[in-house]
Amino acid sequence: MSLEAQGLCKRFGPLLAVDHVSFSVADGGSLGLVGESGSGKTTIARIVAGLERADGGSVRVDGTDRGVHVRGRAARLARARQVQMVFQDPYLSLDPRLTTVETLTEVIALHDGGTRVARRERVDELLDQVGLGDREAAALPRQLSGGQRQRVAIARALAARPRLLILDEAVAALDVSIQAQILNLLADIRTQTGIGYLFVSHDLAVVRYVTDHVAVMYRGRVVERGQTAAVLAAPRHPYTQLLLASVPRPGWDPTAVAQARRALQANNASEEPS
Amino acid sequence: MNVLEVDGLTVVLPGGSHRPLVDGIALRIGAGEVVGLVGESGSGKSVTARSALGLFPARSRVTGSVRVAGTEVVGLAGEALRRLRAEQAAMIFQDPRASINPLRRVGDFLTEAVRTNRGWARARSRDRVVELLGEVGIADPGAAMRRYPHQFSGGMLQRVMIAAALAVDPMLLLADEPTTALDVSTQAEIVAILLRLQAERGMGMLFVTHDLELAASICHRIAVMYAGRIVEEQPADRLFRAPRHPYTQGLLAATPTLPSATGGAVQASGRLVPISGRPLSLTDTPPGCAFAPRCPRAIALCTATAPDLHSSGAERVACHRADESVGAGG
């Protein structure tokens, strides 16, 4: 298992944002974590990445517990490289003063060390992997388009040779024609490298193209999980059914969806002890 | 009667080294009609929508004509422009939080529009606002009016913005990505409210979105924009079934779909067909068709001269090879 999360809990003040959530990502597997805002999906991604500390539960990557403190530079680096993250907006997550090559070289120098020649070879390999050319290699983030910037962010994450890549709404800000390029790129990279994905998204249609398993989150809990194709074809939980019905398509009836949503909310309000 | 008539609208930024933001736009919206304007970032769809309110980028050069319910908007200023925005056209934006004063109670925000534009007394304005909030599905309008914007969820606040837009009984409603910032199940609620109110009041609506499937499921007619031009316009169902322009075909093929979609077959492989390359930036000014560098069907003619938007019946398409590509949709 590249990732095993057991009984994760996280409370923010009165809000139980993550409520005993467990899941796993097989070696080279891809798990979609789907839900709407406030469902707890991003909090989970941040816990797995180590950006947030869980109140309870454990996260293991490749068998090592990520909750245990490590001492020393080598141990911390080894831990850092296990999991890398790609965010929604590459404009905010890339250093605006570094060119693509400089961004990648920094990560490689930190994790691999090596000679200048070896580092440059690794940079070329990464650029090739994400489909960036010479112009993009020498460019600053502001000189790149949104899709190209997201390719840089992916290359930077890959530079550390992670076991697990967390993609938090990584294609949500992209235009459709570019989004398709990145989705295909992500599928190719997983086939080539065997890196596991934790793909966090609000978009069920997108999840279909990058994941083989999916967990649907609602109010901090996983309400349905299974193989992506099976869940999308025959959702069992009313919330999953609502999410699927909410996606516009020919013959779509927004009024019926709105009614189903109110019914679900009313149901939950009466069930929950608050 | 048309509530919106746009003819040859061209907006050029000062400087001269850029292509126009929008170039030769022609568009009609009848009373009671919902027209979608679809395109990716930078295609000019928001510039087009805002032109109906006389909202043009600072110091830009505007040519052509934009008429809202017969009133020419280009060149309109002062009191006449204020009256247009107060009485004839209203707009709903993507992010409700960015278009409402966070320091004022929602009730004050809503009554202000009615009081200043209609000159109604406080009590009468209040009654009208309560009625409007009821129409957009806010359960306890009285309590809602006493609250501040931060006490509303995104979906609830967008309802408030819809109520504000309708306070002036506009003939034309401009909706610029009104659901993009909302959760997908909230989107359905907002769309349902918009469509109900639009139909009840017989308003014309321009629905701007990047989401072709959303546009296809709620609009009567859809215009697709690319790099500042309308490249195709068709009745919504036909655009989806038989797109004529290679860009529209490419967009449809690149859009992730769900397996249970009723329209059309869905490939089992789960691999999308992206459009190669990237959209034109404002500084790119190719002589030919703006889509030619990304177009799988481009020929020498396409990179030499830009195709005109040809009408036949209910459809318009700007492609040199449109007549050959019937039914070749991706």
A1 falls in which pLDDT band (50, 70, 90)? confident
Sorted by sequence, the CB contacts under 8 Å of residue B38 that are 6+ apart come out as B45, B209, B210, B211, B212, B215, B222, B223, B224, B225, B251
Range A72-108 burial, b when 16+ CB lie within 10 A, else e: eeeeeeebbbbbbbbbbebbebbeeebbbbebbbebb
Query: Virtual CA dihedral for A38, A40, A41, A47, nearest 10 degrees?
Result: 140
Q: If you average pLDDT over residues B174-190, what whole number do you get?
A: 91
pLDDT of B190 > 70? The answer is: yes
Q: Is residue B318 part of a domain?
A: no
Tens-place pLDDT, residues A17-59:
999 999 999 999 999 999 988 899 999 999 999 999 999 999 9
* In a domain? residue A104: no
Q: What is the CATH number of the domain that holds B239?
A: 3.40.50.300
Q: What is the mean pLDDT of chain A?
A: 91
Residue B266 banded pLDDT, cuts 50, 70, 90: very low
Does the structure show a pLDDT above 50 at A132? Answer: yes
CATH value at residue A222: 3.40.50.300
Angstrom distances, CA of residue A40 to CA of A33, A254, B154, B293: 10, 26, 17, 42
Answer whether residue A109 is part of any domain: no
Q: Evaluate whether A185 touches A151 at the Cβ level (below 8 Å).
A: yes
Q: Which of A247, A257, A259, A261 to mutate to test the interface with B (most CBs of B within 10 A)?
A: A247
β pairing state of B2-12 and B61-68:
antiparallel
Instruction: Mutate one of B34, B197, B210, B217 to test the A interface: name it (highest A CB count within 10 A).
Output: B217
ipTM value of the model?
Answer: 0.85
d(CA A69, CA A67): 6
Q: Average of pLDDT values for A214-241?
A: 95
Give me the residue from B250, B253, B262 closest to A251, CB to CB. B262
> What is the per-residue pLDDT for A59?
95
A148 contacts chain B (CB < 8 A)? yes
- Please indicate whether, in this complex, the C-beta atoms of A147 and B278 are within 8 angstroms of each other: yes
Do A222 and A162 fall within a single domain? yes
Least confident of A240-249, B13-22, B231-240: B13-22
Distance (Å) from the C-alpha of residue A147 to the closest C-alpha of chain B?
8
Answer whether B260 sits within 8 Å of A251, measured CB to CB: no
Per-residue confidence at B328, pLDDT binned at 50, 70, 90?
A: very low
Average pLDDT in chain B: 90
Return residues 80-119 of A near B (CB < 8 Å): none
Has residue B306 been placed in a domain?
no
A233 contact residues in B (CB cutoff 8 A): 259-260
Is the pLDDT reported for residue A125 higher than 90? yes
Taking one residue from A and the other from B, the number of pairs with CB-CB distance under 8 angstroms is 138
Find the mean pLDDT for residues A163-167: 95
Residues B279, A177: C-beta atoms closer than 8 Å: yes
Whether residue B206 is contained in a domain is answered as: yes
Q: pLDDT per residue over B207-222, tens digit each?
A: 999 999 999 999 999 9
* Residue B174 in domain: yes
B27 occurs within a structural domain: yes
**Which residues does residue A197 pair with via DSSP β-bridges, in sequence order?**
A30, A165
Q: How many domains does chain B have?
A: 1
What's the average model confidence in pLDDT over A123-135?
A: 93
Q: Do A187 and B271 touch (CB under 8 A)?
A: yes
CB-based contact (8 Å) between A229 and chain B? Answer: yes
Q: Is residue A171 domain-resident?
A: yes
In angstroms, rounded to a whole number, what is the distance separating the alpha carbons of residues A258 and B194? 12
Share of chain A above pLDDT 90, in %: 71
Q: pLDDT exceeding 90 applies to what percent of chain B?
A: 75
Q: Is the domain of A55 the same as that of A156?
A: yes
Work out the minimum CA distance from B220 to partner chain A, whole angstroms: 12
Render pLDDT for B71-83 as a digit per residue (tens, 0 to 9): 999 999 999 999 9
Answer whether A250 sits within 8 Å of B211, measured CB to CB: no
Distance from CA of B191 to the nearest CA of A (A): 6
Range of the domain at A26: 3-97+150-234
Which of A37, A180, A205 has the CB atom closest to B258's CB atom?
Answer: A205
Residues whose CB is less than 8 angstroms from the CB of residue B48 and which lie 6 or more positions away in sequence, other chains included: B6, B9, B22, B25, B27, B37, B208, B225
Contact between A250 and B237 using a beta-carbon 8 Å cutoff: yes
- pLDDT confidence of residue B260: 54
Q: Is the pLDDT of residue B290 over 90?
A: yes
Q: Find tokens 């034309």 and name the residue.
A: B172
Span A74-108, pLDDT tens digits: 888 988 899 999 998 877 889 999 999 999 999 99
B-interface mutation test, from A208, A231, A249, most B Cβ less than 10 A away: A249
Res. A274 pLDDT band, cuts 50 70 90:
very low
> B254 pLDDT exceeds 90?
yes
Name which of A53-62, A175-184, A248-257 the model is least confident about. A248-257
Pairing of strands B61-68, B204-209: unpaired
Q: For residues A219 and A246, state if they share a domain.
A: no
In this model, does residue A251 exceed pLDDT 90?
Answer: no
Q: Kindly indicate the confidence band of residue B10, based on its pLDDT and cuts at 50, 70 and 90.
A: very high
Contact B216 A250 (CB under 8 A): yes
A255: in domain: yes
Residue of B nearest to A234 (CA): B260
pLDDT of residue B113: 83
Q: Kindly state whether A242 is in contact with chain B, defined as any CB-CB distance less than 8 angstroms.
A: yes
Residue B100 lies in a domain: no
Q: Is the pLDDT of residue A163 over 90?
A: yes
Domain co-membership, A197 together with A244: no
Tell me, yes or no, whether B321 lies in a domain: no
Between A178, A187, A242, which is nearest B185 by CB? A242
In a domain, A141, yes or no: no
Rg of the Cα atoms in chain A:
20
- Residue A145 CA, chain-centre distance (Å), reads 21
pLDDT at B312 > cutoff 80: yes
B27 lies in which domain range? 2-88+170-284
Q: Report residue A271's pLDDT band, with 50, 70 and 90 as the boundaries.
A: low
Whether B184 sits inside 8 A of A203 (CB atoms) is yes
Q: How far is B180 from chain A (nearest CA, A)?
A: 11
- Per-residue pLDDT tens over the stretch A258-270: 888 888 888 876 6
Convert the pLDDT of each residue in B104-151 to its tens digit: 999 999 999 888 888 889 999 999 999 999 999 998 999 999 999 999
Q: Which of A146, A148, A254 sits opposite B188 (nearest CB)?
A: A254
Query: Residue B261's pLDDT band (boundaries 50, 70, 90)?
Result: very low
Residue B303: what pLDDT?
94
Indicate the pLDDT class of residue B283, thresholds 50, 70 and 90: confident
Task: Say if residue A45 is in the same domain as residue A10.
Answer: yes
- What digits encode the pLDDT tens for the residues B194-209? 999 999 999 999 999 9
pLDDT of residue B269: 52
> Is A115 within the bounds of a domain?
no
> What burial letters (b/e) apply to B144-158, b meaning 16+ CB within 10 Å?
bbeeebeebebbbbb
Domain total of chain A: 2
pTM of the model: 0.89
